[in-house]
Amino acid sequence: MKITKEEVGYVAHLARLEFSDEEKEKFTSQLNDILIYMEKLNRADTTGVEPLTHATYLSNAFREDDVKPSLPHDLSMANAPEERGGSFRVPKVIE
Amino acid sequence: MKLHQFTIHELQKKLRGDDTTSAEIVESVIERIDAVEDRIHSYITLLKDSAREEARKADGDIRSGKARPLTGIPIAVKDLICTRGVRTTCGSKILHNFIPPYDATVIEKLRDAGAVIIGKTNMDEFAMGSSTETSHFGATRNPWDLDRIPGGSSGGSATAVAADECIASLGSDTGGSIRQPAALCDVVGMKPTYGRVSRYGLVAFASSLDQIGPFTKDVEDCAIMLNVISGYDPRESTSVPIDVPDFTSFLSGDIRGWTVGIPKEYFIEGIDPEVEAAVRKAIAVVEGLGARCVDVSLPHTEYCLAVYYIVAPAEASSNLARYDGVKYGYRSKEGRDLMEMYKKTRSEGFGTEVKRRIMLGTYALSSGYYDAYYKKASQVRALIKRDFDEAFRSCDAVLTPTSPTPAFRLGEKMDDPLQMYLSDIFTISTNLAGIPGVSVPCGYTAAGLPIGVQFLAAPFEEGKLIRIASAYEKHSGIEKRRPNL
């Protein structure tokens, strides 16, 4: 087993997801199949190879730090599921 | 022929020659949508009223001599490209009510070119899929066989063009999401070089792989669309400041004396024999045009799928962390504290495939596994890119099948994620290497299902792709069919 049901539960918490027991079983078996397939990467010799995380030759994209118009407050809030006093409203964070 | 059946370049001539009006074209497209849409389901949101208004304005522009490349032409847009004031859902429940406060750069460019935006097309949820079956709004069907999938994830953008429910469309391609549905639906689909088209306003799936590109009825239209959407954008930090040639200038070129690489790793066991036969025929056509087809090797091809399904979910897991029910989109009614609200919102808002990929990506990036998965995959990705760099030292283009099979049946691969992932086996290397690729129709199976051939080129050589694709299209000897709807 590459990944256990307990690990699936832990990773779900990291990803802020929750699953029923049945879903956890199914994900565990499917993720196992996928991770076993990934093992073929170990056959590739990558000694001394720099990881490639972006396919362009660009490194940094700098610009002048000019003040420009940005999204107005009311438009930023327009999609909020809950709002109060111009702020996003959420359930309580601390007891 | 009805107006909705024409290409962009044919309609341009008609509009400028006073043969028709944009209002007539838009009515024809709407009529077509009304006739076939309930069977195909290309669209999540239709914009009939605003399209009619835009058409009236376009006709005024044409009368006053202000026609631009897309003036009055109905274009459809995949529903993960932000449109100001128009719902943009990503095919997901979690964004079912999201109304972007701004336009993506490509939308601004379409509008500047005079396009009429006719609707937002259906897609796999967050572009994660190869069949357009994972959409929260229901599956899209292939116009060539309604029991089959159109490919994905940009399935609706492909079917809208194939079924004449628009004249051309935009999709996005992270691992084949433009080219594979283009092949399965008998249209032309291009993924430009990473950095060629601005991703500003494109809802992110895997930021180092995503690229916007066009679906069109022929290669000439592909060049026209590419002219409109390409170019550096200071608002997008991976957009590359490089000159954009006039892609239509490559349409008349020949490929005499070209070297075209045929990678042996793309003609493998498991490829459908009818697909292989059609692509072999395409190789013969290309040779007949005076190109030399040579065997090339892309030795790390076998690792592409494994690399992709680590890199893409890893990037997705962090990109999709923003959907938390706070700032926009769906929020669960349950959840007594913040943590519970997050979990319930995300678990109720995302579909199964999206959750599977978030899980995979979170696992691959988690403490203790990062080196074994993400780092290893990124190293092999460098080797995959190196393979292409090497091939393009001696080849002008590379030719491969676009998809290993024609369109499969709805439901066939939904319970077997690995089998579904294998649909992208010939298209994902392109995204990993950041190079451009185009799928062009290359024939039909005995059952009448479309087949596509893929051409690849070195970074920023889309001009070469237009050249070989148009030369092939002109001389393929394939009689163009229309789906029987």
Could you tell me the residue range of the domain that residue A29 belongs to?
5-43
What is the total count of domains within chain A? 1
User: Which entry of B28, B42, B78, B230 is annotated as an active-site residue?
Assistant: B78
| Distance of alpha carbon B468 from alpha carbon B463, whole angstroms | 9
Q: Do A92 and B382 touch (CB under 8 A)?
A: no
| CATH number for the domain harbouring residue B216 | 3.90.1300.10
**pLDDT score at A95:** 64
Q: Which of B145, B149, B42, B136 is nearest to B98 (CA)?
A: B136
Query: Is A1 within 8 Å of chain B by CB?
Result: no
Nearest-Cα distance to chain B for A27, in Å, is: 7
Residue that finishes a domain, picked among B188, B221, B253: B253
Which positions ≥6 away from B192 have C-beta within 8 Å? B211, B212, B213, B226, B230, B436, B462
Same domain, B236 and B174: yes
Residues of A in contact with B430 (CB under 8 A): none
A90: in domain: no
**pLDDT score at A94:** 73
Q: Which among A12, A52, A81 has the least Cβ separation from residue B331? A: A81
What Rg, from alpha-carbon coordinates, does chain A have? 23
Same domain, B112 and B235: yes
Burial of B49 (0-12, 13-18, 19+ CB in 10 A): exposed
The question of whether B177 is a catalytic residue gets the answer yes
Query: Is A6 within 8 Å of chain B by CB?
Result: no
The answer on pLDDT for B14 being more than 90 is yes
Average pLDDT, chain B: 97
The question of whether B252 is a catalytic residue gets the answer no
Same domain, B50 and B109: yes
How is A42-90 classified by DSSP, letter by letter?
GGS--TTPPP---SSS---------------HHHHHTT-SSEETTEE--
Nearest-Cα distance to chain A for B336, in Å, is: 6
Helix (H/G/I), strand (E/B), else coil: B21? coil
| Distance of alpha carbon B150 from alpha carbon B143, whole angstroms | 8
For the ranges A58-72, B114-128, B194-208, which has the lowest average pLDDT? Answer: A58-72
User: Which entry of B92, B169, B177, B470 is annotated as an active-site residue?
Assistant: B177
How is B374-427 classified by DSSP, letter by letter?
IIHHHHHHHHHHHHHHHHHHH-SEEEEESSSSSPPBTTTTTT-HHHHHGGGTTT
Size of interface A-B (CB pairs under 8 A): 158
| CATH number for the domain harbouring residue A37 | 1.10.20
Residues of B in contact with A75 (CB under 8 A): 101
**pLDDT score at B386:** 97
* Residue of chain A with shortest Cα separation from B436: A55
- In B182-313, DSSP assigns E strands to 188-191, 211-216, 259-263, 292-296
B396: in domain: no
B76: in domain: yes
Q: Do A44 and B240 touch (CB under 8 A)?
A: no
User: Which entry of B22, B42, B131, B153 is annotated as an active-site residue?
Assistant: B153
| Distance of alpha carbon B393 from alpha carbon B376, whole angstroms | 26
Same domain, B242 and B312: no
Q: Do A71 and B306 touch (CB under 8 A)?
A: no
B423: in domain: no
The residue ranking higher by pLDDT, A93 or B431, is: B431
Percent of chain B with pLDDT over 90: 95
Q: Which residue stretches of B80-218 are H helix?
A: 105-112, 155-162, 179-185
A73: in domain: no
Q: Do B376 and A46 touch (CB under 8 A)?
A: yes
pTM for this model (two decimals): 0.97
Q: List residues bridging with B81 in a β-sheet.
A: B202
Nearest-Cα distance to chain B for A55, in Å, is: 5
Q: List residues bridging with A88 in a β-sheet.
A: A83
Q: Scanning the structure block, which residue is given the tokens 């690849």?
A: B456
First to last CA, chain A: 39
Same domain, B307 and B218: no
Per-residue DSSP letter, B193: P
User: What are the phi and psi torsion angles at B471 (to 5°)?
Assistant: -60, -45
B153 prior amide bond cis, ω within 30? yes
Q: Do B417 and A51 touch (CB under 8 A)?
A: no
Burial of B279 (0-12, 13-18, 19+ CB in 10 A): buried
**How many CB atoms within 10 Å of residue B66?**
11
Helix (H/G/I), strand (E/B), else coil: B300? coil
The tens digit of pLDDT for each residue in B328-382 reads 999 999 888 999 999 999 999 999 999 999 999 999 999 888 999 999 999 999 9
| Distance of alpha carbon A22 from alpha carbon B342, whole angstroms | 21
Same domain, B336 and B187: no
Q: Which of B131, B199, B197, B201 is nearest to B159 (CA)?
A: B131
Residues of B in contact with A24 (CB under 8 A): none
Nearest-Cα distance to chain A for B143, in Å, is: 32
Q: Which residues, numbered 124 to 143 in chain B, qualify as contacts with chain A under a Cβ-Cβ cut-off of 8 Å?
A: none
The question of whether B476 is a catalytic residue gets the answer no
**pLDDT score at B57:** 98
**pLDDT score at A1:** 77
* Residue of chain A with shortest Cα separation from B241: A58
A29: in domain: yes
A17: in domain: yes
- Among B174, B340, B359, the strongest candidate for a mutation testing the A interface, having the largest count of A CBs within 10 A, is B359
Could you tell me the residue range of the domain that residue B82 belongs to?
3-253
**pLDDT score at B418:** 83
User: In the structure, what pLDDT confidence band is assigned to residue A55 with cuts at 50, 70 and 90?
Assistant: confident
Can you tell me the mean pLDDT for B1-19?
Answer: 97
The tens digit of pLDDT for each residue in B312-333 reads 999 999 999 999 999 999 999 9
**How many CB atoms within 10 Å of residue B307?**
27
- Among B233, B363, B384, the strongest candidate for a mutation testing the A interface, having the largest count of A CBs within 10 A, is B363
Same domain, B216 and B97: yes
Query: Is B422 within 8 Å of chain A by CB?
Result: no
Asked if residues B430 and B308 have their Cβ atoms less than 8 Å apart, the reply is no
Q: Which residues, numbered 16 to 55 in chain A, qualify as contacts with chain B under a Cβ-Cβ cut-off of 8 Å?
A: 16-19, 27, 30-31, 33-35, 37-38, 40-42, 44, 46, 49-55
Q: Which of B121, B99, B117, B98 is nearest to B108 (CA)?
A: B117
Structure tokens at B169: 């469309």
Q: Do A44 and B380 touch (CB under 8 A)?
A: yes
B204: in domain: yes
Same domain, B224 and B84: yes
Nearest-Cα distance to chain A for B175, in Å, is: 14
Nearest-Cα distance to chain B for A11, in Å, is: 6
Rounded alpha-carbon distances, angstroms, from residue B474 to B253, B254, B282, B291: 11, 11, 12, 15
B284: in domain: no
Nearest-Cα distance to chain A for B253, in Å, is: 28
Residues of B in contact with A82 (CB under 8 A): 331
Same domain, B217 and B312: no
| Distance of alpha carbon B80 from alpha carbon B277, whole angstroms | 36
Helix (H/G/I), strand (E/B), else coil: B188? strand
Residue that finishes a domain, picked among B253, B281, B316: B253
What is the total count of domains within chain B? 2
Average pLDDT, chain A: 92
Same domain, B160 and B75: yes
| Distance of alpha carbon B275 from alpha carbon B281, whole angstroms | 10
Q: Scanning the structure block, which residue is given the tokens 């080196």?
A: B371
Same domain, B241 and B318: no
Query: Is A61 within 8 Å of chain B by CB?
Result: yes
Q: Which of B325, B456, B353, B365 is nearest to B402 (CA)?
A: B456
Q: Do A55 and B339 touch (CB under 8 A)?
A: no
Which amino acid belongs to residue B106? V
The answer on pLDDT for A80 being more than 80 is yes
